[in-house]
């Protein structure tokens, strides 16, 4: 193959890629335009069901069904996947009366899926057909049809499942999100089901978890000298210290940066009361707040230390580096 021939083929491939993306985008947009009462009915069937949602399918649409089961589960709707082929050899025992089974098949004529129908009826499930053909055998035997039909596949030969699987996936995702909205699923709920991910750390890690990293709470009384406050910072290896009144209530904060700026003018202040130079009523956070909130405060205020306060009294000093170590990002 010559260099020019190779380049021509690459250009042709790129044009085919653009065409494929357009076809798949059009297929998804068509779903939006065609969304009807059957979608609402599907929501109602799942909401009113006392069972779980079970996805089934084989081949490419089976992979779509498996992904949708994962999406439903992670967004608040209990779901799992049963491979239609394995279902014919015992895995139907995972399904019970009252479940809602969503069978995914573009043609609606997949042998393995159709072979499940008699047993599914005997078990006593509600059957939803997620299909591209409303006149298919699967659609005929379903309680409800979710139609994901496409004009053509993105494959230039109109053979490989491409636009049809994208449409089925998009319609299933839309159903998952609609149900999630109905249930009032929150980011905190999402984090509960994803404790190992970055979002999980953001939404499950609290300030009280992070302050255990260093367990420092530098505090001085309001009449303490700046010199003593500096010693307190040095001993605690923190860049600031909380300043409290006689009852232990937070009144202010002073940082090593404050002291350096004062030194640029004069050193006469070093034995004066720290109350003369502190930042009064500093921003603070409670130990039960999310560490991500502390991070947002520190970034917006451009500060490295944040007093952790409970009932008006400082119980710890949170440092920006501690949040880095806790990976709250």
Pair 319, 328: CB distance under 8 Å = no
Long-range contacts, stretch 159-163, CB < 8 angstroms, 24+ apart: 161/59, 161/60, 161/61, 161/106, 162/20, 162/23, 162/24, 163/23, 163/24, 163/27
Closest by Cα among 185, 152, 237 to 71: 185
- 3-class DSSP state for residue 62? helix
Category of 30 on φ-ψ map: left (φ > 0), alpha (ψ -120 to 50) or beta: alpha
Q: What does each C-alpha distance from 105 to 166, 245, 311, 325 come to in angstroms?
A: 12, 71, 59, 47
83 annotated among ligand-binding-site residues: yes
Pair 153, 163: CB distance under 8 Å = yes
Closest by Cα among 329, 328, 307 to 318: 307
- 3-class DSSP state for residue 147? strand
Rounded CA-CA distance 250/312 in Å is 6
Which residues carry a binding-site annotation?
83
Which residues carry a binding-site annotation for Zn(2+)?
83
């Amino acid at each position: 193959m010559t260099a020019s021939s190779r380049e021509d083929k690459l250009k042709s491939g790129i044009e085919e890629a653009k065409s494929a993306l357009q076809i798949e985008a059009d297929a998804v947009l068509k779903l939006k335009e065609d969304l009807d009462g059957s979608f609402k009915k599907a929501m109602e069937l799942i909401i009113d069901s006392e069972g779980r949602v079970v996805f089934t399918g084989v081949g490419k649409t089976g992979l779509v069904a498996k992904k949708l089961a994962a999406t439903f589960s992670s967004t608040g709707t209990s779901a799992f996947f049963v491979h239609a082929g394995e279902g014919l050899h015992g895995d139907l025992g995972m399904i019970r009366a009252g479940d809602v089974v969503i069978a995914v098949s573009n043609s609606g004529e997949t042998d393995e899926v159709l072979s499940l129908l008699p047993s599914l009826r005997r078990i006593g499930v509600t059957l939803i057909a997620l299909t591209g053909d409303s006149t298919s055998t699967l659609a005929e035997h379903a309680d409800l049809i979710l139609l994901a039909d496409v004009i053509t596949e993105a494959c230039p030969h109109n053979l490989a499942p491409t636009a049809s699987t994208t449409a089925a996936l998009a319609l299933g995702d839309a159903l998952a999100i609609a149900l999630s909205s109905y249930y009032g699923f929150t980011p905190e709920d999402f984090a509960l089901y994803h404790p190992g991910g970055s979002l999980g750390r953001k939404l499950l890690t609290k300030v009280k978890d992070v302050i255990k990293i260093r367990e420092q709470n530098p505090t001085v009384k309001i009449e303490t000298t700046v010199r003593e406050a500096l010693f307190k910072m040095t001993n605690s290896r923190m860049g600031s210290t909380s300043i409290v009144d006689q009852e232990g209530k937070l009144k202010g904060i002073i940082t090593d940066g404050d002291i350096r700026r004062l030194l640029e003018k004069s050193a006469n202040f070093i034995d004066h009361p720290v109350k003369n130079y502190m930042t009064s009523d500093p921003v603070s956070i409670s130990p039960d707040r999310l560490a991500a909130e502390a991070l947002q405060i520190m970034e917006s205020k451009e500060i490295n230390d944040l007093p952790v306060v409970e009932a008006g009294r400082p119980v710890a000093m949170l440092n920006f580096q501690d949040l880095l170590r806790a990976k709250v990002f």
